[in-house]
């Protein structure tokens, strides 16, 4: 019995003793090693915050800029971005690809317009020796003598264009809209230049609005941000706008101011009534960097001279001195310009390159974007 008991005791020493499970305890499970903590994801790009930072870098107060950008009227419009980058050249006439479409009715309207604003045109001539006909030609092509409806919120346009400074954002826009446009290196570089231009114009728009005492978000213009009857871009009007009626204000929406401001710009760009045709064309080229635009302005200018002389004859008045007719010759030194290197004339205009008058026409500096012109 003793040996049996000893055997039993010895055998038990080879069996691990089992402890009763603790109350409410669960068996331990083998766990995988803890993964590395996830890296904090970069915040999603906020285009309005980006524009805010850019405007603050231009010297604007952050609180005021944030108030403007938080207005529900201000949105970033991707269609505006792509249209300004890819589709900004003026549209020539289907009948004659060298000029834009102009309705003959505007020649008669142009003569009536010159009579209506006689005082402003006299001021333009006395100060700058620029004729009513060339100023009126520009106003006809730009906004149909101020009658063309401006459909685009200019503040929204320039806000949208400013975001082009961020190449990753613009690339994502092109991928999202499925437009078929490829973000090549040239496209991205052109977009960044347009973005830099848009920021300058947005900054100037805010400053100009403060000077005029108007809400910058209330201003409508072209899809490329030009404003007023003469379709000046903000930086150009700040530099070249003048008081045309001695009311103490320089207003891009006042027709008399626009008339005299166009004369000021053309004078600085080298316009002279008795100059050679190529010099006249160079002055118009400074106003808008597109051959078809220059051709069309010169065409209207010639026709208005003829119509004005006929009108004066019928009224028994004196006609102006005969001017050299302006044919549609090619501007010297000018080649094809890429989209965005100027602005189109005609209804639905955008801004122009009215920022470098007097410079060489074949080497425009920081040209402004150009929308596609419409038929009139």
Q: What pLDDT digit, counting tens, does each position of 337-360 carry? A: 333 333 333 334 333 445 555 433
Long-range contacts of 275-282 (CB under 8 A, 24+ apart): 276/324, 277/324, 277/326, 277/327, 277/329, 278/329, 278/331, 278/332, 280/134, 280/326, 281/326, 281/329, 281/331, 282/331, 282/332, 282/361
Phi, psi of 358 (to 5 degrees): 90, -5
Residue at 332 is within a domain: no
Please report how many Cα atoms fall inside a 13 Å half-sphere around the Cα of residue 19, on the Cβ side. Answer: 5
The pLDDT, as a whole number, for residue 372 is: 30
The pLDDT, as a whole number, for residue 16 is: 42
Using the Cα atoms of residue 355, residue 356, residue 358 and residue 362 in order, give the sign of their dihedral.
negative
What angle separates helix 167-177 from helix 78-86, to the nearest 10 degrees? 100
Instruction: Name the token pair of 210.
Output: 């403060």
Residue at 33 is within a domain: no
Report, in this order, helix, strand and coil percent for the chain, each rounded to 5.
50, 0, 50
Name the residue range of residue 165's domain.
47-315
Domains in the chain, number: 1
Q: Are 174 and 82 in contact (CB under 8 A)?
A: yes
Contacts of 375 (CB under 8 A, 6+ apart): 91, 93, 100, 101, 103, 346, 347
Residue at 94 is within a domain: yes
How far is Cα 251 from Cα 232, in angstroms, rounded to an integer?
Answer: 11
Residue at 223 is within a domain: yes
How far is Cα 144 from Cα 125, in angstroms, rounded to an integer?
Answer: 22
Residue at 16 is within a domain: no
Residue at 327 is within a domain: no
Low-confidence ranges of the chain (pLDDT < 70): 1-43, 178-179, 317-376
Residue at 195 is within a domain: yes
How far is Cα 155 from Cα 290, in angstroms, rounded to an integer?
Answer: 25
Helix residue spans in 20-77 (DSSP H)? 47-57, 62-69
Residue at 9 is within a domain: no
């Amino acid at each position: 019995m003793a040996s049996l008991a000893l055997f039993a005791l010895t055998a038990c020493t080879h069996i691990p003793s089992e402890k009763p499970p603790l109350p409410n305890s669960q068996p331990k499970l083998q766990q995988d090693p803890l993964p590395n903590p996830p890296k904090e994801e970069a915040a999603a790009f906020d285009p309005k915050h980006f524009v805010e930072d850019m405007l603050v870098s231009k010297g604007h107060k952050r609180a005021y800029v944030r108030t403007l950008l938080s207005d529900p009227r201000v949105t970033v419009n991707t269609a505006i971005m792509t249209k300004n980058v890819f589709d900004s050249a003026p549209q020539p006439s289907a009948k004659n690809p060298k000029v834009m479409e102009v309705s003959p009715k505007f020649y008669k309207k142009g003569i009536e317009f010159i009579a209506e604003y006689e005082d402003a045109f006299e001021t333009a001539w006395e100060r700058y020796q620029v004729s009513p006909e060339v100023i009126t030609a520009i106003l006809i092509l730009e906004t149909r003598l101020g009658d063309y409806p401006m459909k685009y919120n200019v503040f929204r346009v320039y806000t949208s264009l400013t975001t082009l400074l961020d190449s990753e954002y613009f690339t994502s826009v092109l991928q999202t809209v499925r437009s078929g446009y490829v973000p090549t290196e040239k496209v991205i570089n052109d977009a960044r230049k347009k973005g830099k231009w848009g920021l300058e114009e947005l900054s100037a728009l805010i400053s100009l609005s403060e000077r005029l005492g108007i809400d910058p978000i209330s201003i409508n213009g072209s899809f490329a941000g030009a404003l007023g009857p003469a379709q000046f871009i903000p930086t150009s009007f700040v530099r070249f706008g003048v008081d045309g009626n001695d009311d103490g204000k320089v207003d891009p929406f006042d027709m008399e101011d626009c008339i005299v401001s166009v004369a000021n710009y053309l004078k600085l760009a080298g316009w002279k009534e008795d100059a050679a045709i190529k010099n006249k064309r160079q002055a118009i080229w400074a106003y808008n960097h597109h051959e078809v635009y220059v051709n069309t302005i010169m065409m209207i200018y010639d026709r208005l001279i003829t119509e004005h002389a006929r009108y004066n004859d019928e009224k028994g008045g004196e006609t102006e001195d005969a001017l050299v007719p302006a044919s549609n010759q090619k501007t010297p030194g000018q080649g094809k310009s890429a989209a965005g290197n100027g602005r189109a004339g005609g209804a639905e205009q955008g801004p122009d390159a009215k920022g470098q008058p007097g410079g060489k026409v074949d080497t425009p500096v920081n040209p402004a974007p150009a929308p596609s012109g419409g038929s009139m």
